[in-house]
Amino acid sequence: MAFTNIAALATASIALLSQSHLAVAQSASCLVTASTPQSCQNTTAVANTCCFNSPGGQLLQTQFWDTSPETGPTNSWTIHGLWPDECDGSYQENCDPSRDYTDPQTILQDFGATSLLSYMNTYWKNDGASDQELWEHEWATHGTCISTFDTKCYASYQTGEELVDFYNTTVNLFKTLPTYTWLANAGITPSTSRTYTSSAILAALKAQHGANPVIRCASGSLDQVYYAFETKGSTQTGEFIAVAPTGESSNCPSSGIKYAPKTSTSKKRETRARRRGLGVRNM
């Protein structure tokens, strides 16, 4: 995994992958070269979808800022998931029910990915049920629709190998997108009294990410961010290029946006429906 927007992030990401316990068995043809096509930028069909994300050519790393109830560290956003959107902004979900794995914790442990599991226990949190339920849901709903995680893409495939790769890729990508720090460096910090403008929040995140993300609010409070990427090569080992999301849009007001601290005592809870027009996207 490499990034074109910030060279330091690429170095950090590659280092993280080199420490992985996983045996990602991608063929040599997945190596990124000058001629490797970029997802959503190709003019002809690419047959090898083990080395090219299709039809979900735009990947969204989505994050939560949960305050009611609070989840995760007080100085960090938490992981929502990794979503494959098609290049026109549409998307598929639940692409392979035969791989709706249960008990991902045991699968991670069986593959020796204990460090990954520990990180997920801290930063990939559910807000009303067990963390594992969210992990299972994100894989079944979104991960099974990422073509490079298909079982045919692995040599000497072991059951659950692609599940661990999905979590590993999502976590590594999340580590390069420190939303809390990026906002704080721009003077945007959680507060019970201050409010912020949408333009200031987006500018702070774009300056670091390299493209406009999507920000989402519930009752005027900032609670989600989506970072979009196109890719070269496989999701597991390829290059990520920051882009603006095609099928998602911000719903926050232009001003008066609240950014509540996680120490809030509010008892109000918001639903996590992802609305696109009249439809609702599974989280």
Out of 80, 86, 136, 161, pick the active-site residue: 80
CB 82 within 8 A of CB 142: yes
Print burial letters for 209-248: b (CB count within 10 Å at least 16), e (below 16). Answer: bbbbbbbbbbeebbbbbbbbbbbbbbbbbbbbbbbebbbb
Give, in order, the Cα–Cα distances in Å from 54 to each of 64, 91, 142, 215, 259. 26, 11, 13, 25, 36
User: Is 209 annotated as catalytic?
Assistant: no
Out of 86, 138, 162, 239, pick the active-site residue: 138
Give, in order, the Cα–Cα distances in Å from 160 to each of 97, 107, 111, 150. 14, 7, 9, 11
Out of 86, 142, 162, 230, pick the active-site residue: 142
CB 121 within 8 A of CB 134: no
User: Is 137 annotated as catalytic?
Assistant: no
User: Is 138 annotated as catalytic?
Assistant: yes
Residues tagged active-site: 80, 138, 142
